[in-house]
Structures are given as C-alpha cells and as structure tokens.
Amino acid sequence: MIPLPLARIAEITSGALTGMADPRAVVRGPVVIDSRAVEPGSLFVAIKGARVDGHDFAAQAIRAGAVAVLATRPVEGPAVIVPDAAAALAELATAQAAALPDVTVIGVTGSAGKTSTKDLLARLTARVGPTIAPVGSFNNELGHPLTVLRADLDTRFMVLELAARNIGHIKDLTRIAPPQIGVVLNVGTAHLGVFGGKEAIAKAKGELVEALPRTGVAVLNADDPLVRAMASRTDARVTFFGRGESASIRAEGVTVDARGRASFTLRTPSGSAPVSLQLYGEHAVDNALAAAAAGYELGLPVATIAAELSQATPLSRWRMEVTDRADGVTVVNDAYNANPDSMRAAFAAFEVLGRGRRRFAVIAALRELGDEGPALNAELGRLAGGSGLAGLIVAGPDAGPVLEGARSAAAEAQAAAQAALDAQAAAQAAAGVPQAPVPHQDAPQGWHGPSPDQGWHGPAQDQGWHGPAPDQGWHGPAQDQGWHGPSPEQGAPQPGRQAPGAGGVPPQGWQAPPAGGPVAGAPPGAGAAYPAQAMRIVHVPDAEAAAAELAGWLRPGDAVLVKGPRAMGLERTAELVLGGAAQ
C-alpha cells in the first residue's frame, strides 16, 4: 500500500486515535483482518463476526508488529476508533485507489468462473506491468478493499473479482476502485434463492458495466443472452467473446484431450493463434476467452495471449484440482463452491477425465436456491445418477431431493442398460452365437460361464475371471485388484485398468468390481447374458464420513470427483482421500 501516517488514516476514516497512538506513526502495510497475517508495519482491522471478534486479537496483532488497530471500541494498544470497521476499510481503500491515477482497474464478475478468469487475466496484465489481483476469491465487501490496499505507486493493473449477494453490492464495490474494463462471464443460478430469479442476477451483475466510463470497455459473453443484453446498459465500447461467429474474440475447433484439457484456435480481429490449456474442463475455454478479450483490449498480441493462456496452471485452490495418487487413483477436488451450472460443468469434465475407469463422486445438496431448491437439487441428483458412476456419496443435510433424484436416474439407467444387453443377447442368439448362462443371484462376486472350451468362469469368491487356456485369454486372481494377461504377446494391464479380452483387446467398459461394491461394465465374451449392475448410492453426515466411506470403495486406477457448496467443506474429503490431514 501507499504508506500513510495514522493521522491521515484517522482523517480518511473519520476516526479517533486512542491508546497512546502516535499520529506520526506510518502504516506501510499490509492491511489485514487476520491477526496471524500481521507483519511489522501492518494495520490490523478488527472485524466482529458471527463467531469471532477481531477485537479479542488486537493485543496479539500489536505484539506481532501492527502499527495500530482499526477498531470500533478501545483495545489494548494504539488504535483508530471508527463507528463501522468494514465501512472504514472501504473508505481507506477508496482513498488509496484515487491516489493511483495511472492504474488500470479491470473488474470481473459472473455466476461462475470469476476466480479462474481473474487468475488468467492477471497473468496477461503482468506481461504489461506490475499487477495486483485477489488471493483466491477475495471478492466481497472485505476482500475487495483488502486487495485494493495492496496496490502501491508501482502498480499498473488491478484485476479485481466482484461478487454480489444482492442488488447494489457490485455497485458499491465499483465505487471503491472504479473500473476501466468490465468483464461479465455469465448469468447462472448461484444465489438464486437470494436474488429471486436469473433476471435479478443479471441486474446485479450488470452493475459492473453501468459503472464503466465512456472511455472504458465492456467485455461481454456473446453466448449468454442475459450478458449480451448488458451492452445496452453502458456507454462504454463493447467487445464480445464466445464461440459463435458474432464474437470478435472466439474459439474455433475446440477439442478436449483424455485428461479433459481443451485446445482451440483463438481468433481475433488481428489474427489467430493456437491455445492448449492446462486447465481442466471444457468450460475453461470460456474463461480463457474472457481473459483473452480483455488482454486484447490492452494491446497484447494474439500470439502472446495464446502463449500465456497455454502456460497457465491452476492458481486458486479447490477449483478443478486434479491429483493422481501413487496407486493411480485420480482425485478431482472442485470443492470450493457449487451451484447447478458449475455442477454440470464439473460432471461434464469428469466424464472425459474418467473415461474408461470406474468413477465415483462425492457431492452435497446445493444451497441458497430459494423455492426452487428442492427441484434443482433433485435435478442435481438425476445428473449424478445418470452419469455412469460406479458409486455416489451424498454428504450433509437436506440430501433427500438429491438422493431421490440420483436413485431414480440410476434405476432408469440400469433398466436401459439391461434392455440393451438383453437385445444384444437376443440378436446374438438369433445369429447362432453361443450364450453364457445368466449368473445366479446368490453368486455375489463371480460370474459363471459355460465349459472351459466355450467361455469364461469366475468362482463366487475370487472376484475374477478365468480364461479357458493361456493361449486363449487371461485370468484375474482374487486379491491383486487387477487383471493380468497370461502371455507376453497379449499384454498385462496395470492394476485397476480394464481387463483385456482375447488377443489383449480391452472389452469396452469392463472393470474389476470392488469387494462388496458396485461393478461397472460387462464381463467379456461375445453373447454373454448377465444383469446390468446398479450404482451404489449412500448418504453420510459430513466430509470426514464421506472420505471414510470412499476409502472402502476405491481401487487402483479409479477416479473421484469431490464437489459441493462451500459450507460443506468437502475439500476435507479430497485431502483425506489423498492421504493428507483434514484442515
């Protein structure tokens, strides 16, 4: 921050110095609301929350080197006493931003993708000059001014994330640091219950473009009708990004690799360049386009934009973090927050990333959806239940609609799969293909085929398949959690991978079942008739219980998606599954 004496801070905030505060003492920053983040020269702002009162930590902050405390009552040590600490923080940030006339402020808002876009855009602006951007999602009435106060006389760009929980919130944030460029990503269903409808959400998000000066630029998503309509709410110049021809900054030829990372051609009015993202999920393309459009308006060459986007890795935690355990289990930690739109995006990305593997998910009921909550949570359950998972864990309260939707969709999917298998068996029987008998229901973990010279058999307890002869197939022993081809020329798959059929060709969708758990896919052998397997769906009370349940299901090579509302703390589930301690 710009160094300020306590006398000037008291003047800006209309505060009074107490506790033997020296008006000449200079605050050089940072300004913090967490006493553990205090450094010598800091200003500690004592915020009284629902569970913790910052005033109780004032003495600790002074001992750690804080010059003074911005407080609403006298504390032990030098202080600036104000009527409202949060309002005083905003006033201080407003004065600091006004003292930086050479800084370009870029605001980013939207129902989903704000943090990822902010991270990408800050990477681009750093190519031009010193940049300040929020840590994580510092985007509300406290985090926003704290970010602004990190700027100093060397700062050239502030990339700020603006969140809204009601009409007027973004307008208030733009008064602190008036933006010259405003980026609006989308209008979705986050906080739907608070706002009362998507039109109200659009009204709130559009406050960003309304705050732009005539000389500014509104960067709008051409693919979202509610965002596109915001062009009429600003006198600033408008630039559209998207995937359609109407967008001046657009993605063409989007492809997604086996890990769910997108590549595309970035097309701009002055040329094009290839982009290969290291971010997970095709939805990252839209965030990259928004950042590219703002970067283009700043004068960055398209080749530079494409190169920076291609090199960018995830910065903010718990947002599509993909980690592989030593045993090949892949954990997708997207637990920072969730709404219906981000849930759909996460499951779409997970389907690609987990293709050909057993997939599991840990989710929780979505919140702040108002009267539509039960219906939207039932829709979430149907999304998960129809996603081809081997197992689903729903954690936390209000899980009824999610469980009901998941069980309904899973039953429909199982019935459809069984009908397809029966039709295939009937067609093969009509063609004279020998049929394996349907296994008895009392043989829980094994399949029994015909005689060794015709097919496969798997005794009930060994959870595996045995081929008739080494030169004709393969076998899966009881405890190795994998499949092994009997001869070198057929290959030996790694533990947990799909089992090969004759000639070492993996039969589509077949995976070894866990002990007592669900099985995905089908046993090998043309013409086999067998029951389609049901998805396991359970409800647990919390994040720790979800991790414990999941530990009994996972086998090498599986994939797990963890996603839920912030209040559920499902990042603890991911951390425990990865072998870490809950935080």
Q: What is the pLDDT of residues 127-163, one digit of tens each?
A: 999 999 998 778 899 999 999 999 999 999 999 999 9
Confidence grade of residue 425 (pLDDT, cut at 50, 70, 90): confident
Question: What CA–CA distance (Å, rounded) separates 124 from 422?
Answer: 55
The rounded distance, in Å, linking the Cα atoms of 247 and 534 is 44
549-571 average pLDDT score: 95
Q: Is 246 annotated as a binding residue?
A: no
Convert the pLDDT of each residue in 284-328 to its tens digit.
999 999 999 999 999 999 999 999 999 999 887 888 899 999 999
- Please report the pLDDT score of residue 439 as a whole number: 53
Q: Is 115 annotated as a binding residue?
A: yes
Is 59 labeled as ligand-binding? no
C-alpha closest to that of 205 among 239, 173, 167, 256: 167
Residue 323 carries which side chain, given as an amino acid letter? T
Share the mean pLDDT of the chain.
Answer: 84
Share of the chain above pLDDT 90, in %: 69
Cβ partners under 8 Å of residue 77, min gap 6: 19, 58, 59, 61, 62, 66, 68, 69
pTM: 0.75
Q: How confident is the model at residue 369 (pLDDT cuts 50, 70, 90)?
A: confident
CATH number of 321-412+534-577: 3.90.190.20
**CATH top class, domain 100-311:** alpha beta
Q: Is 116 annotated as a binding-site member?
A: yes
Q: Which amino acid is at 165?
A: R
pLDDT digits (tens, 9 = 90+) for 494-548: 333 333 333 333 333 333 333 333 333 444 433 344 566 789 999 999 999 999 9
- Residue 166 confidence (pLDDT): 84
**Nearest one of 33, 38, 28 to 4, comparing CA atoms:** 28
Average pLDDT estimate for 234-247: 96
Alpha carbon 526 to its chain centroid, in Å, reads: 41
21-68 residue pLDDT tens: 999 999 998 999 999 999 999 999 999 988 899 999 999 999 999 999
Does residue 536 contact residue 553 with C-beta atoms inside 8 Å? yes
Q: Exposed e or buried b for every residue in 54-82, given b needs 16+ CB within 10 A?
A: bbebbeebbebebbbbbbbeebebbbbbb
CATH of segment(s) 4-87: 3.40.1390.10
Domain locations along the chain: 4-87, 100-311, 321-412+534-577, 445-525
Instruction: Count how many Cα atoms sit within 13 Å of the Cα of residue 544 in the half-sphere of its side chain.
Output: 3
- Going by C-alpha positions, the residue among 456, 447, 496, 488 that lies closest to residue 471 is 488
Question: Is 113 annotated as a binding-site member?
Answer: yes
